[in-house]
Structure 1
Amino acid sequence: MSELTLVGLCGALRAASTNRLLMHEAVRRFGPAEFVDGDLDLPLYDGDLEAEGIPEKVQVLSDQIARADAVLVVTPEYNKGISGVMKNALDWISRTEGNPWRDTPVALMSSAAGIAGGQRAQNMARLCLNPFRPFVLPGPEVFIGQTSKKWAEDGTLADEGAGRLIDELMGLLREAALARR
């Protein structure tokens, strides 16, 4: 059996984002797989731009999702919702041919400065993903609150409780990806 392909979508563009650290921590804990870091640095959705054709970067991202065995969506919480970057990517992907998300196992995670760790962002992400009909894992829910205090110097997660939840979620995501093959 060939190696699994895991696509990660991080709703924060900043290189030092703790959501990016969380995504890479989850990838490490997922186990052996080809990892594709989806590029969400896309033009703002604009119907006039779409009329000229789907931008190449959007089509690449859509194709990566379509080929994925599983997708990891990691989003910060901005103003009680998902980041504009994540919403823009979802809007663009919805405009591509077919439905690259259909039945694909998806795990959601978030980290945020507040104590709740991005709970509202995850709820919003679930709502935004529903029309695509992926298989969004119901849990365990992984919210990293007060995120700036949760990382070791080497960029790994220092919170053992959150680590156990990530391990469980990544195990379930791997199982779902293998079952889908």
Structure 2
Amino acid sequence: MKNIVFICGSLRKGSYNRIYMEKMMQQVPENWNIKEVSFKDVPVYNFDLEGDQEPAAVTAFRDALGEADGIIIVTPEYNTGTPGPLKNAIDWASR
């Protein structure tokens, strides 16, 4: 069984990216495990919080990505770049 994580790069409730992601999630084979992972509670990256002081939201986000066989990110593009909160979460997860 495949474990697939979906991440919506927009935090807006009515996001077109969220609508599109939800449609994609409906198309995943039934025998796959799918999970939406949010980064809304991940704080701004701070080196001083690494290690023993790492926020629980960071640990949960990183663990969810680590358990996945695949990650699908559906995101808007702002000023030719990744939305700041998504980039921040990826920075935390990559540490």
User: Is TM-score (shorter-chain normalized) higher than 0.5?
Assistant: yes
Q: Which secondary structure state, in structure 2, belongs to the residue aligned with residue 71 of structure 1? A: strand
Q: Which secondary structure state, in structure 2, belongs to the residue aligned with residue 15 of structure 1? A: coil
Q: Which secondary structure state, in structure 1, belongs to the residue aligned with residue 27 of structure 2? A: helix
Q: Percent identity?
A: 37
Deviation at 1:51, TM superposition (A): 5.7
Consecutive unaligned residues of structure 1, counting only runs of 5 or more, are 96-181
Mapped partners of 1:34, 1:14: distance in 2: 25
Aligned to 1:28: 26
After superposition, the C-alpha distances for 1:76-126 in whole angstroms (9 at most, x for unaligned) are 11111110111001100012xxxxxxxxxxxxxxxxxxxxxxxxxxxxxxx
Aligned to 1:94: 94
- Normalised by the length of structure 1, the TM-score is 0.48
Deviation at 1:74, TM superposition (A): 1.2
Mapped partners of 2:51, 2:68: distance in 1: 27
After superposition, the C-alpha distances for 1:14-68 in whole angstroms (9 at most, x for unaligned) are 1211111111111111222222111111111111233652211111111111111
Q: How many aligned residue pairs are there?
A: 93
Aligned to 2:37: 38
Query: Following superposition of structure 1 onto structure 2, how do residues 74-93 of structure 1 map, counting pairs within 5 Å?
Result: 74-93=74-93
Q: Which secondary structure state, in structure 1, belongs to the residue aligned with residue 5 of structure 2? A: strand
Consecutive unaligned residues of structure 2, counting only runs of 5 or more, are none
| RMSD over aligned Cα atoms | 1.5
- Normalised by the length of structure 2, the TM-score is 0.86
Higher CA-based Rg: 1
* 2:4 aligned residue (3, 6, 24): 6
Q: Which secondary structure state, in structure 2, belongs to the residue aligned with residue 60 of structure 1? A: helix
After superposition, the C-alpha distances for 1:125-147 in whole angstroms (9 at most, x for unaligned) are xxxxxxxxxxxxxxxxxxxxxxx
Aligned to 1:159: none
Q: Which secondary structure state, in structure 1, belongs to the residue aligned with residue 73 of structure 2? A: strand
Larger displacement relative to structure 2 (47-56 or 36-45): 47-56
